[in-house]
Amino acid sequence: MTWRAGVVGSPITHSMSPVLHRAAYDALGLEGWSFHRDQVAAGELAAYVERLPGDWVGLAVTMPLKEEALALGAEVGEEARLVGGANTLLRTDGGWRAENTDVYGLEQALRGAGLGNASAAAVVGSGATARSTLLTLSRFGVREVTLLVRDQVRPGALDLAERLGMAARTCRYAEGPGRWGTPEVVVSTVPSGATPDVAGWVLPSGAVVCDVVYAGWPTPWATDWESQGVSVTRGDAMLLHQAVRQVRLMTGLEAPVEAMAAALRAALAAAGESRQ
């Protein structure tokens, strides 16, 4: 019997999900399993899913389709429901189940970066990934959060912060670092190059800074921070661990984390060399 899974989004050519899932299948000895990558534009996910034959067991879903994926769920996992977006669809007897593994992925990445309990955080952006970040940060005890945005904050992020018992405030890029506070953890959830200038933003000793972007490293955000002596956690750690949970959900087997991490490192290194 053959089984298929895949990743969808727009753009999609940069996605490293095939590298991670295929490495897992190889390490687990799953013969007959394949993982695909398809360009699916906004508004087209429902039609795409409807065409999938019965040997498809699941989908990894990237932007801009996470809200659409949630809407397709006959069943919805608690994390997906809370953040209002799903990055995983799983075929069940009753239809598709919508899950969010981004929360788990970011949690593991931040723990790996040394984050323990924290009381205050800043999140750059306010979209679906920012909402996943808020839920993640709540698990570290964060109760005060600054949503740092270029223009207007999306209401869903403020609503979620309130439901999580967080005191949230909004600051704009133009207000400058003097208004952004001194959080113990800062997470950027926006695309490379869409971050604010952080020159002069002073964080407490031991603060953790994370950029969820993993391609084209170092990003301008990472470079800006490192010029101030602050190291930045790269988004590949989040990518790895959200895929680890996806593999577990789709196959029912424990994911081979080290094999997947090695494959990702090699693919990112090759991609970096190809751009030079």
CA distances from 34 to 9, 23, 69, 114, 139 (A): 18, 11, 21, 35, 34
CA 272 to CA 30: how far, in whole Å?
30
Establish how many alpha carbons lie within 13 A of residue 17's alpha carbon, considering only the half-sphere containing its beta carbon: 27
Element (H, E) at 258: helix 257-274
Residues 6+ apart with CB under 8 A from 23: 256, 259, 260, 262, 263, 264
Name the one residue in this structure whose structure tokens are 């680890």: 244
CB 41 within 8 A of CB 103: no
Residue 117 CB neighbour total at 10 angstroms:
9
Q: Compute how many other C-beta atoms are within 10 angstroms of the C-beta atom of residue 108.
A: 19
Given 12, 18, 60, 66, which residue is catalytic?
66
Find where tokens 């959200």 sit.
Answer: 242
- Residue 90 annotated in active site: no
Residue 5: CB partners within 8 Å, gap ≥ 6? Answer: 21, 33, 34, 35, 36, 56, 57, 58, 59, 60, 250
Contact between 109 and 237 (Cβ < 8 Å): yes
**Catalytic machinery residues:** 66
